[in-house]
Amino acid sequence: MEGLGMFMGMRYYQLLKWKDKESLGHTNSLLIVIAAALGALIGSHIIGSLERPEELLNAVSKLRYIWLNNTIVGGLAGGLLGVELMKKIMGKKESTGDLMVFPLIVAIMIGRIGCFYTGVFEQTYGLPTDCPLGMYLGDAHRRHPVALYEIAFLMLLFVSLQWFKRRFIFQNGLLFQLFMLSYFSFRFLLDFIKPRAIILFGISTIQITCLIVIIYYIYLLKNTHLERRV
């Protein structure tokens, strides 16, 4: 499902790119996509392996442990850094993220279907709960089906951003900023009902990463100008 999600996301992005009238050009766009992919690959494994520092320190093979652990939070953060670095090298200042928003949402949703079916055998399950939404995911406990929570949130975010896109006139990049702020805020809260290793001030590595990204995008959004479509 992770592979299918990436495939469908890239096909969706390619479709949107064909219709894009404000294209950076084939070569520049390809370089940005490559930078995003490399940044996402590195970021996902670094943040994923730092999620449980004790396990990393005790691992027989550190490189193998890092390779086997990843997280979408680190992937998005690393992809962001990769794109910004490539744009700086290319001397480009215009935003390039809006076209990636809906393909990213679709890709993450499909990937989370795989996380749900994997149950407790992959680090994307919730804490035990007595609430009506609790489900048996492979052990003796009813747990929060956090993968389903995330899918539901992403479906709502997809619809909300499509509505926003049709109702308002805004500068390039705002849609991506809203997506990142919304998703990282949701993940920061969701991780309170997931097993996690506390790193600092009662929060985990993933939550610390989320806070850094949230603060960054709040700073970017503070001077945003919107105009309602007639």
Q: What is the pLDDT of residue 133?
A: 92
Does the pLDDT value for residue 128 go beyond 80? yes
Average confidence score pLDDT of the chain: 87
d(Cα 186, Cα 207) in Å, to the nearest integer?
10
Q: Alpha carbon of 74 to those of 33, 113, 129, 212, 225: distances in Å?
A: 17, 19, 27, 12, 29
Say which range, 24-33, 107-116, 170-179, has the weakest mean pLDDT. Answer: 24-33
Q: Alpha carbon of 217 to those of 80, 175, 193, 195, 203: distances in Å?
A: 12, 11, 24, 27, 20
Q: Give the tokens for residue 72.
A: 């979408």
Q: Which residue has the tokens 């949701």?
A: 186
d(Cα 96, Cα 213) in Å, to the nearest integer?
17
Q: Considering the entire predicted model, what is its pTM?
A: 0.88
pLDDT digits (tens, 9 = 90+) for 39-73: 888 988 899 888 888 888 888 888 888 888 888 89
Tell me whether strands 168-169 and 142-143 are parallel, antiparallel or unpaired: unpaired
Does the pLDDT value for residue 109 go beyond 80? yes
d(Cα 103, Cα 14) in Å, to the nearest integer?
9
pLDDT digits (tens, 9 = 90+) for 70-100: 888 998 898 888 888 888 887 776 666 788 8
